[in-house]
Amino acid sequence: MPRARTSHQYDRQTAVAQEDAGGCLSFYILPPFAVVLIACLLTALALKAPIQTSALPIVQPMSPATSLSPIFTREVQHWGNDILRWATAAALDPNLVATVMQIESCGDPRAFSRAGAMGLFQVMPFHFRFGENGFDPETNALRGVNYLAQSLQTANGDGRLALAGYNGGIGVITRGEWTWHAETQRYVKYGAPIYEDARNGSLSSAALNEWYEKYGVSLCGQAHQRLGLP
């Protein structure tokens, strides 16, 4: 028969049992602790890992125009590649730039008005810097297109008002149209629908045809000859 345990034996076995119980308790605590540890390690690795850009949304920029509208006359089309380049540099629609060239000079780089306006974009002499050749196409375009960009910005992107500002001075944009000079009103009367037709992808423009018959025959004929077009 089993012998009765002494008090000393009982205390020792109780202590061992408590140590065993503590061991079992550690066994049940270990798995959650390991999960937390692994999660921390994975998080650290994730922070160091390179970002996979292929998973990010890609915003595609608007494609720039690659050609002018076909409504413009041959003399203006002659400058097509240059117009695209000048417009891109100034962040403008090339068809707006072409509309201005169409009405101002019909593409004649030597055009000269009674008021003293010069070249492709009929830039007034005071817009040029000292020593610049106002008839040089690059210089003329730089000054003219930049002024058009300022006009468009003042007009908050309104092409019609930008055309008015280009012809009558940027100050007219904020004034009532009834105060505009007759020349500016005529400029907008033809320029705005010409630009709209070009921008909308039309193959012809009644406004441009009317402008040509009333004002453009001589101007474009001179440009045609100056450019040596067949």
Question: Count of domains in the chain?
Answer: 2
* 69, part of any domain: no
* 134, part of any domain: yes
Looking at the fold, whether 80 and 191 belong to one and the same domain comes out as yes
Structure-model confidence comparison of residues 10 and 208, the more confident one: 208
Please tell me the distance from the alpha carbon of residue 214 to that of residue 205, in angstroms, as a whole number.
Answer: 14
Across 22-50, average pLDDT: 43
Q: Among residues of the chain, what percentage have pLDDT more than 70? A: 71
* 32, part of any domain: yes
* 61, part of any domain: no
Looking at the fold, whether 175 and 111 belong to one and the same domain comes out as yes
Q: What is the largest CA-CA distance in the chain?
A: 136
- CATH code of the domain in which 211 resides: 1.10.530.10
Looking at the fold, whether 135 and 219 belong to one and the same domain comes out as yes
Q: Among residues of the chain, what percentage have pLDDT more than 90? A: 71
Looking at the fold, whether 185 and 107 belong to one and the same domain comes out as yes
What the block records as the tokens of 185 is 């009103």
For all residues of the chain together, what is the average pLDDT?
81
- pLDDT for position 67: 80
pLDDT reading at 24 higher than 50: no
pLDDT reading at 5 higher than 70: no
Looking at the fold, whether 219 and 148 belong to one and the same domain comes out as yes
Looking at the fold, whether 12 and 111 belong to one and the same domain comes out as no
- pLDDT for position 14: 39
pLDDT reading at 12 higher than 50: no
Looking at the fold, whether 78 and 44 belong to one and the same domain comes out as no
pLDDT reading at 141 higher than 90: yes
* 112, part of any domain: yes
Positions annotated as catalytic residues are: 104
Q: Which domain holds residue 31?
A: 8-48
Model confidence over 39-67: pLDDT tens digits? 545 444 444 443 333 333 323 333 445 68
- pLDDT for position 66: 64
Q: What's the distance, Cα to Cα, between the start and end of the chain in Å?
A: 131
Across 114-131, average pLDDT: 96
- pLDDT for position 187: 98
Model confidence over 158-200: pLDDT tens digits? 999 999 999 999 999 999 999 999 999 999 999 999 999 999 9
* 168, part of any domain: yes
Q: What are the backbone dihedrals phi and psi of residue 197, each rounded to the nearest 5 degrees, phi first?
A: -65, -40
Please tell me the distance from the alpha carbon of residue 107 to that of residue 110, in angstroms, as a whole number.
Answer: 9
Please tell me the distance from the alpha carbon of residue 93 to that of residue 200, in angstroms, as a whole number.
Answer: 12
Looking at the fold, whether 44 and 78 belong to one and the same domain comes out as no
Looking at the fold, whether 41 and 80 belong to one and the same domain comes out as no
Looking at the fold, whether 202 and 99 belong to one and the same domain comes out as yes
Looking at the fold, whether 156 and 91 belong to one and the same domain comes out as yes
Looking at the fold, whether 84 and 30 belong to one and the same domain comes out as no
For the stretch 116-153, what's the b/e string if a residue is b when 16 or more beta carbons lie within 10 angstroms of its beta carbon? ebbbbbbbbeebbeeeeebeebebbbbbbbbbbbebbe
- pLDDT for position 65: 56
